[in-house]
Amino acid sequence: MKRSKIKTAILVSGGGTNLQALIDAEKSGIIKSAKIALVISNNPEAYALTRAKKARIKTAVITKTEFGSRENAEKEMIKVLKENGIELIVLAGFMSILGENFTKKFERRIINVHPALIPSFCGKGYYGLKVHEEALKKGVKVTGATTHFVNEIPDGGEIIMQKAVNVRENDTPEKLQKRVMKQAEWKILPLSVEKVAKEILETEK
């Protein structure tokens, strides 16, 4: 029997606003080809876990502290992903760089959203508010968000989608962060998940 949905896991570390955008997009039918089957956090305190539980999505917490090293935590993560039949992974504010061992196992199956127009303001150390601080320092008039496949190079994988957002004169990093989330991240992340999941299903035909 032909499958209609790709089992997807979301990796989170914090508040889970991007996770919420994905949950809402699945409910409203923007995401049709993927099913959010699992949420994994490397932070037991992440509010994203509460969001997942409210939406009745299975959760797991895997921390570096618990497993002694990033490598061991990633091995455990691979085990949990396999046990749950996960074929697509989405990084939604996941504050840990994934090692080559992990990314190679899931080639073209890991999606990340970055709060800038890659290749600007990206790479090692560029995450969270720092991205917006640097964009404002540079004086860019347009910023935005990018979804891309994840490989062993931070923000180095092939671009899936981009959406531009105008920078305003009185912007603070916080104001800009909110606008980029609302106007770009929460729009293109669900669309990218749908696009990639649909492509996976189509290759099986």
C-alpha 134, offset from chain centre: 21
114 is catalytic: yes
How does 73-104 read in b/e, with b if 16+ C-beta sit within 10 Å? bbbbbeebbeeeebbbbbbbbbeeebeeebbe
Q: Which of 114, 132, 148, 179 is catalytic?
A: 114
* Cβ–Cβ < 8 Å for 21, 90: no
Q: Rounded to whole angstroms, what are the CA distances from 99 to 12, 30, 69, 76?
A: 16, 31, 12, 13
Q: Which residues are catalytic?
A: 114
